[in-house]
Structure 1
Amino acid sequence: MSDLDARLLAAHAAGDLDALVELYAEAAETARDDTARGFYLTHAHVYALERGHPKAAALRNRLVDMGREHPL
């Protein structure tokens, strides 16, 4: 298990939505392909929406740029 995986599991266990936003965004940056990148960005975006996190719009824009979300 990687350090990032361990931090993700700990954030899930703690219910730390702010950390989940940051960690899933970090995972997207290190993902090896677009499928994984989209998966991680989607999770980061969902947690950002739940939390009202200031990065929600930027995460959504990245998903739009990838063609995984539709522009408003």
Structure 2
Amino acid sequence: MSELQSRLLVAHEKDDRAGLIGLYTEAADRANDLIERSFFLTHAFVFALEAGDLRAPLLRERLREMGRI
């Protein structure tokens, strides 16, 4: 298991929404293909929406630029 995966699991266990947004965004930035990047960005976006986080519009725009929404 990678270090990033470990941090994601810990953030999920702690229900750390802000942390999850950042970690899923980081995972998307590290992803090597469009499907994987989309998966992680979608998760980051959903957590941002649920939390009312200011990063939600930026994440939405990234997904839109990728043709995912």
* TM class by smaller structure: over 0.9
Structure 2: which amino acid aligns with 1:44?
Answer: A
Q: Distance in 2 between matches of 1:50 and 1:11?
A: 16
Structure 2: which amino acid aligns with 1:16?
Answer: D
Aligned pairs, how many? 69
Runs (5+) with no aligned partner, structure 1:
none
Could you tell me which residue of structure 1 aligns to residue 67 of structure 2? 67
* Percent identical residues: 52
State the 4+ residue runs in structure 1 displaced beyond 4 angstroms. Answer: none
Q: Distance in 1 between matches of 2:39 and 2:3?
A: 19
Q: Secondary structure at the match of 1:6?
A: helix
Is 1:31 the counterpart of 2:25? The answer is no
Structure 2: which amino acid aligns with 1:58?
Answer: L
Runs (5+) with no aligned partner, structure 2:
none
Q: Distance in 2 between matches of 1:42 and 1:32?
A: 16
- Aligned-pair distance for 1:32? 1.0
- Aligned-pair distance for 1:50? 0.6
TM score, norm. by length of structure 1: 0.95
- How much is the aligned-residue C-alpha RMSD, in angstroms? 0.3
Q: Distance in 2 between matches of 1:50 and 1:67?
A: 22
Structure 2: which amino acid aligns with 1:65?
Answer: E
